Amino acid sequence: TKLRAASASMASCCCPIIASFVSFLLVFPVLFSSAAGNGSTFGEEQLGLRRMKARLARVREASVKTIQGLILVILQSPDGDVIDCVPSHLQPAFDHPRLRGQKPEEEPAARPGNDHAMEDDDEEEVLPQTWRSSGEWCPKGTIPVRRTTEGDLLRASSVRRFGMKPRSAAARRDSTSNGHEHAVGYVSGGQFYGAKASLNVWPAQVSSPAEFSLSQIWVISGSFGNDLNTIEAGWQVSPELYGDNSPRFFTYWTSDAYQETGCYNLHCAGFVQTNGRVVIGAAITPVSAYGGRQFDITLMIWKDPKKGNWWLQLGPSGALVGYWPSSLFTHLGARGRGGADMVQFGGEAVNTRPSGSHTPTQMGSGRFPGEGYGRAAYFRNVQVVDWDNNLIPAAGLRLLADHPGCYDIAGGQGGAWGSYFYYGGPGRNVRCP
């Protein structure tokens, strides 16, 4: 009761109110005009708005506590995030038709290789995030959800597709990228049941709200037509999605090649969060500095061989963030042999070719791989999970850059870093006009 009273007081004081859509309605014509260019009709945008309002209201009503900024109610965090603590069984995932009435699954008893359950004392070191500087935590039995605000919706090119990648987005498969440029390492030609790597985090500069820069792991299955299944996680800078240029921890999934299924983070029903101390979509801090200290995050995605769900593990100590239920997928959904055909590691940047030239949006640190440690972005200890739930080096890792003069990649093998590579670049330069 006290927590609910605190939330009510906070809402009347200074928290953004999700239900306040008056100014949003006033700018409908502008929003729908831009949406038309995105392939949506006026009616589809109206329907999308109604659904979004209903979903945001459900999250808001379910919240038992709200955390705003560095100090409860009084200050906002530098990234302006507001965190709602939502009972885990009422989280957005369970709005999905295939998940309704369910509760979060128990953590798998076995993990790939030598990975094991983390110790509670290490939990706060999983992923340093700005919101945690407040000293406030979500109560047991709840998960922290980054609140979607009116401003987030106003920045979107389409409300109906809010939180989704453009239909033209795709995992890298050839030299044509439709404005999405990649520098990646990948393995294919077998069945893979997960992937793991450590990647350093950078404040990549993104030149336009219509563009983004990310570094991630892709787990991929199916053809590169309309039945492509992907599971993705990493860090991303996206001014349109988040409203700033901070690198943020993110997840993504799709079961139909980014057409109508899947989304970033918890923006749609799907990913089930089990961790109460990590906010998906929140800013990561500190980050790596050019010529200075490097900060990386360790990610592992793997398939539970018993139930078929794909789990996300974060941090060297092994905290589980949550899972993508097998029922979301076709190719990745089957138990047993339902593995991935390909695993990719690396960077992606959007190039809208402003003024007819290549974008200066950075990938990674914005520096080419040749500059090496402390200057270029990297992936280290690149591994995959085999059929017997073992972590093994990513043998035969192929390195490929769509446009090496803009964003490049170079790798190596051996020592404490195992299989590794440096990647990235500045975008527009003398080699990339």
Q: Could you give the residue numbers annotated as active site? A: 232, 348
Report in angstroms the alpha-carbon separations of 336 from 139, 191, 193, 231, 320. 36, 11, 10, 18, 22
Before 144, cis peptide (omega within 30)? no
249: CB partners within 8 A, 6+ apart: 127, 129, 234, 235, 278, 279, 280, 281, 282, 284, 297, 314
The H or E element spanning position 429 is: none
Identify which of 347, 89, 117 has the alpha carbon closest to the alpha carbon of residue 213: 347
- Cβ contact 276:90 at 8 Å: no
Q: DSSP string of 224-270?
A: SSTT-EEEEEEEEE-HHHHSS---EEEEEEESSTTSSS--BTTSSS-
Length of the chain: 433
The H or E element spanning position 25 is: helix 22-26
CA angle 157, 159, 164 (to 5 degrees): 75
- Cβ contact 118:319 at 8 Å: yes
30: CB partners within 8 A, 6+ apart: none
Write out the two tokens for 23. Answer: 């100014």
d(CA 429, CA 357): 10
